[in-house]
A and B are shown apart, each in its own frame.
Chain A
Amino acid sequence: MTANTTRFAPLFEPRGIVVAGASSHPGKFGFVALHNILRHGYRGTVYATNRDGGDILGVHALTSIEQLPDGAVDLVFVCTPAAANVELMRACAAKGVRAAFVTSAGYAEAGEEGRAAERDLVACCEELGMLLVGPNGQGVVSTPASLCAQIVAPFPPRGRIAIASQSGNFVSSFQNYAVATGIGVSRAVSAGNAAAVTVPDLLEYYADDPETAVALAYVEGVADGRAFYERVRAVASRKPLVLLKGGTTRGGQQAAASHTGALASDERVFDGMCRQAGVTPACSVEEAFEAAATFATQPLPRGTRVAVLTTAGGWGVVTADAIARSELELVALPDDLRAAIDAKLPPRWSRNNPIDLAGAETRDTIPEVLELMARHDEIDAVVYLGLGIQSNQARMMRTGRFYPDHGLDRIVAYHERQDARFARAAADVSAATGKPVLTATELAVADPENPGPREVRETGRLCYPSSNRAVAALEHLWRYARHRARREQE
């Protein structure tokens, strides 16, 4: 274990937790936090303190930290008022607590007095050797420990994305996407005022963390640009790091003497810094999440050559346009692949890339063509469109008054089985070839229970809500792969 891993262990893998300032009022932070910790089955022992004692959610509340057993608790989740917290830290440290997540407000965000209180809190934790996260943060999640010490945000499924954010609301947004897509999270921290532990500190931990495959961060201000660059570069040299940036566009630059100066908007310099560091910059919350989810679930492409499989023309055309606008390449269909598909289909298929089956597919066509595509040496990645459309029809049949008669039960079952099979085939061939195979359909959001997208989730992959979003995610993977490859050559 590195020093960093040891330092963060009491936050992410605590043996016991105490909620300081637990409340019996279900509208209060101190109640909700305790509720969420208990509700999601945290495996360690949970303690709570409350000035008046009593029983909260079945936990006997202690009236002071002094009543805690020695060495039973690693993490204190702080919901008490700012004025009480320095004393609380000392009492906790005396009981062997090694990390504090401070949700309390009234610190640097609240004027001069708050800034002084924050300095005192930081100094106290430094003196005690206590890891301090927050203050004014929304919470911490660690799925391997079944730990949901947070409010508002849902508890995500376990997975390989680790989140660090200066804004608690984005932690919530990312975890909402995790729940909706099934692409899970390892750790998540809302750093609040980041008085001691900062977003880069967390990212460095994630780079070491065996539970984490990709880091996903939101940053607003960057105090020391150079230091930030060096640190995120070191993280990205080990694992993909997706950065959602806020407040990097300050509008136009002030009048500059040079063209270069006039062109040097904050956003352009920030973007260039990200690219140089190997960081994946994203402009929207869904772009950021989907990039991270793709890093977590797809192999990196070894080149730019993309082939598209579609069951209908229009989808393929729009996808081809999206690829043309990207740094990816819509590869010319190799002759031998064309011949191999010719052997399986009547001549009305497109005979080009996108491979448009034009409704000519029979029972085994889609898995077979996916296999031919992914295994071809001149193809680096596959985008598959049209999953779930037959199950969409099946749904109408299943929910209509003619079901299950007239043979509807059999055809419905067939379509649903087929779509699940196609989703499975896309994941299997990707795993077998080590190439990304991305499945896109709006049914991912329009009808998540459609057997196509549902099976994509079952395979642990993301079902992209549109081909454009699949292409955008794939382009992020390609840029990262190229960044790594170019630097391995140097």
Chain B
Amino acid sequence: MTHTLSEAESKRVLAAHGVPVPDERLVADPGAATVAAGAIGYPVVVKLCGAGLAHKTERALVRLALGDAAAVRAAATELLAAARPADGPVELLVAPMVHGNRELIAGLHVDEQFGPCVMVGIGGVLAEAVGDVAFRLVPLTAADAADMLDDLHTQAILGPFRGEPPVDREAVSAVLLGLSQLAESDPHVVSVDVNPLIVVAGRPVAVDALVEVE
């Protein structure tokens, strides 16, 4: 049987393998959320966080661009109230509002025929519809990671884009190599989704992540 880790736990696992994640705080209640938001700096994002919450967006459990303490407190209160008994224990994840025009997706998948493989592609909510992705088998080399980015059809997204610098290919490659290391070091990991992997000033940040383990 497999189960998913919470977003916070998923990111902790990924960060240990060099995947850049935002400066986030996991808190228990609305009061602590406002303290965390103050420390991070406004605007912030507040999300309900728990091992049973694999699909937060579909249930509107993410509140974006909260500009002050009152907004954070109200959002945190609503999110906790939206939790269902089936969700199990939940907490609040307070994160900086990350801005970037480009969203990538990265992940791990265990293929029936070829075993664990790493993916990168054009991300965001349209990732599956666009389907511009590349796979490689674990373990990856730096050359494999570089090839993967070259495989993507939408190369324009990787260049200078709407006033932002080009995507730092080395930094994206480091994420892919980190995913490969994770698969090698922990055979219990059956899938990873990093979506979106937002490009901020050219560098990727894992804004949402989901790790599934056996």
A residues near B, CB below 8 A?
222, 225-226, 229, 256-264, 266, 268-273, 275-276, 327, 482-483, 486-487, 489-490
B113–A272 touching, CB < 8 Å: no
Task: Specify which chain A residues have a CB less than 8 angstroms from the CB of B109 in the assembled complex.
Answer: 256, 258, 260-261, 264, 269
A273–B114 touching, CB < 8 Å: yes
Minimum distance in angstroms from B198 CB to a CB of chain A? 15
Residue of B nearest to A272 (CB): B135
Task: Specify which chain B residues have a CB less than 8 angstroms from the CB of A261 in the assembled complex.
Answer: 109, 191
- Bound-complex Cα distance A489 to B144 (A): 12
- Bound-complex Cα distance A218 to B69 (A): 64
- Bound-complex Cα distance A268 to B119 (A): 10
- Bound-complex Cα distance A259 to B127 (A): 8
Taking A258-B210, A486-B147 as contacts, is the C-beta distance between A263 and B128 under 8 angstroms? yes
- Bound-complex Cα distance A222 to B142 (A): 27
Residue of B nearest to A248 (CB): B113
B113–A269 touching, CB < 8 Å: yes
B135–A257 touching, CB < 8 Å: no
Give B134-170 as 1s and 0s: 1 = Cβ < 8 Å from A's Cβ atoms: 1111000111101110110000000000000000000
Task: Specify which chain A residues have a CB less than 8 angstroms from the CB of B193 in the assembled complex.
Answer: 258-260
B88 is an interface residue with CB less than 8 A from chain A: no
Task: Specify which chain A residues have a CB less than 8 angstroms from the CB of B131 in the assembled complex.
Answer: 263
Task: Place the interface of chain B in its size category.
Answer: 35 or more
B117 is an interface residue with CB less than 8 A from chain A: yes
A257–B212 touching, CB < 8 Å: yes
A271, A486, A490: most-surrounded residue (chain B CB, <10 A): A486
Residue of B nearest to A484 (CB): B143
By secondary structure, the A interface counts as helix
* Interface residue from B2, B128, B143 paired with A259 (Cβ < 8 Å): B128
Minimum distance in angstroms from B146 CB to a CB of chain A? 6
Task: Specify which chain A residues have a CB less than 8 angstroms from the CB of B135 in the assembled complex.
Answer: 264, 268-269, 271-273
Taking A257-B191, A272-B135, A272-B136 as contacts, is the C-beta distance between A263 and B111 under 8 angstroms? no
Task: Specify which chain A residues have a CB less than 8 angstroms from the CB of B113 in the assembled complex.
Answer: 222, 225, 266, 269
Task: Specify which chain A residues have a CB less than 8 angstroms from the CB of B20 in the assembled complex.
Answer: none
Leading 7 A-B pairs by shortest Cβ distance: A260-B107, A272-B135, A225-B113, A486-B143, A225-B114, A264-B109, A258-B193
- Bound-complex Cα distance A260 to B127 (A): 9
Q: With A269-B111, A269-B114 given, can you name 16 additional A-B contacts, CB distance below 8 Å?
A: A229-B137, A256-B109, A257-B212, A260-B107, A264-B117, A268-B135, A270-B114, A272-B136, A272-B148, A272-B151, A273-B114, A273-B136, A486-B146, A487-B141, A487-B143, A490-B141
- Bound-complex Cα distance A482 to B128 (A): 29
Task: Specify which chain A residues have a CB less than 8 angstroms from the CB of B141 in the assembled complex.
Answer: 487, 490
B195 is an interface residue with CB less than 8 A from chain A: yes
B204 is an interface residue with CB less than 8 A from chain A: no
Task: Specify which chain A residues have a CB less than 8 angstroms from the CB of B127 in the assembled complex.
Answer: 259, 263
- Bound-complex Cα distance A358 to B201 (A): 47
A276–B191 touching, CB < 8 Å: no
